Amino acid sequence: MNRKFEAAMDGLIDRGGPGVAVAVHHRNQAPYLAGFGLADVEWGAAITPETVFRIGSVTKQFTAAAIMVLAEEGKLGLDDPVHSVLGNCPASARNATIRHLLNHTSGIKEFNTLSSFPETADLSLNEVIELFKHLPPDFNPGERHASSNWGYILLGAIIETLSGMPYRTFLLERFFRPLQMRQTSVLFDEPIVSKRAKGYAVGAKGIQNASTMSQRTLTQAAFGIGSTVADFLTWTDALRSGQVVSAKSYATMIEPARRNGGSLSEYGFGLIRLEFRGRTAITHTGRDNGFAAIMTHFQEDDLTVVVLSNLDSFPVERAHLALARRALDLPDPVARPRITVSAEEVARCAGSYQSELVPWWAPWTFVAADGLLTAPFPVPNSRFEPFTPTEFQCVDDPEIILRFDQPDVVGYNRVTYEGPMRSPWQASTATRVAPS
């Protein structure tokens, strides 16, 4: 069994560089826990299942669960206006409800749209809110879905206001301590944290130390938690089994969001509902400076897979699906036959495309060369090869597909991204903003 899972990491890990901790828990079997690579490259310290990683936006499910606890206690209603529970309510959230914040339909701008973002400033939570308090919303609440870390920062402020304690203390007292998650906390740079991994990025000369965002108050309820794969298995089991919130509340957390016109979005409350080969996958990814994370529970199979990495460009999605396929005895993806497409036709697909789902992301830029397209995702310098004149598959992961359409005289005006885990309700599309 161990070798089967170890084989899933072959080709993904440089044992002398940053790496991953993984956890696989299938039904009532003993969980598989392992570490690969180094927690500290400079010291040669190995990653183990007890290594602490930042988990990025996977934090959001903890924030959402805290809101559900307060709702169960009658301290708020999910459809309460934000301004009714938060005195320092930004103008952009004036017409939004708590539900809108939870499922990313509030319209609040994303913080990297600010011309100057104070990653290292020592700000209080109220000072953080002042940064975007007077910015107008991007759209009316409920109109569409667009990820907003500001929205989750506001949820952290609501938790502090209604509980009377700091966000990190609420999570410690209500979640981490009762569940004996001893290596999970809201991480700040200054405290000594046993077995904490250092974060890394890929620079022009190779692996380098990642820059840090030392002001964790700025982001703690959006992506500020650090944890281990062992603690995370404890958390996911507890969340689904009624130890954290009621079964009814958990069901609400994983419901797709319903927009004003009745259409659905895969994002629930800090958790995303996707499909993988006919299975329901409750999941979330996270990326923070120097770190990447993913957690997925495959409902019908009662399988949980967690991958935490201290390299922010590590392909956690690909790694965790390789582990899932081995746990479920599913075949690996098989590439479609590559075809030859003229350089001119490949060039028509190249250019910059702006995501419609997360418009604050940098545009997706595709570069044509040698009959292929190169893209910055799912990891930097990913190569895509054509299997039809307008469809390309990732060379390293053929379940990832790009489909180009809406042609004009210059090229194609839209690209649709399809990954192994897909939304049954909406496609991930981007619109061309500049040709190659």
pLDDT at residue number 310: 97
Indicate if 101 and 249 belong to the same structural domain.
yes
Tell me which of 292, 310, 332 is where a domain ends.
Answer: 332
pLDDT-wise least confident of 126-130, 233-237, 272-276: 126-130
Average pLDDT score, the chain: 91
Specify if 338 maps to a domain: no
Q: What is the CATH number of the domain that holds 409?
A: 2.40.128
- CB burial readout 333-366, b (16+ within 10 A) else e: beeeeeeebeeeebbbbbbbbbbbbbbbeebbbb
Instruction: Tell me which residue range forms the domain holding 430.
Output: 343-435
The total number of structural domains in the chain stands at 2
Which of 4-18, 49-63, 208-222 has maximum average pLDDT? 49-63
Q: Is the pLDDT confidence value at 126 over 80? A: no
- Determine contact, residues 168/176, Cβ cutoff 8 Å: no
Q: Which residues pair with 407 in a beta bridge?
A: 412
Indicate if 290 and 359 belong to the same structural domain.
no
d(CA 83, CA 72): 20
Phi-psi region of 307 (alpha: psi -120 to 50; beta: other; left: phi over 0): beta
How would you classify the pairing of strands 206-209 and 372-375?
A: unpaired
pLDDT tens per residue across span 273-305: 999 999 999 999 999 889 999 999 999 999 999
Specify if 158 maps to a domain: yes
Residue with tokens 């701008």, as numbered in its chain: 109
Indicate if 256 and 383 belong to the same structural domain.
no
Specify if 337 maps to a domain: no
pLDDT tens per residue across span 363-413: 889 999 999 999 988 888 899 999 999 999 999 999 999 999 999 999 999
Mean pLDDT, residues 143-163? 92
pTM over the 0.85 mark: yes
pLDDT at residue number 91: 81
Residue 362 tokens read as 């940098």
Q: Is the pLDDT confidence value at 355 over 90? A: no
Confidence of residue 89 (pLDDT cuts 50, 70, 90): confident
Indicate if 121 and 233 belong to the same structural domain.
yes
Mean pLDDT, residues 18-24? 97
Tell me which of 298, 332, 366 is where a domain ends.
Answer: 332
Q: Is the pLDDT confidence value at 338 over 90? A: yes
pLDDT at residue number 255: 95
Q: What is the CATH number of the domain that holds 257?
A: 3.40.710.10
For the chain, percent of residues with pLDDT exceeding 90: 73
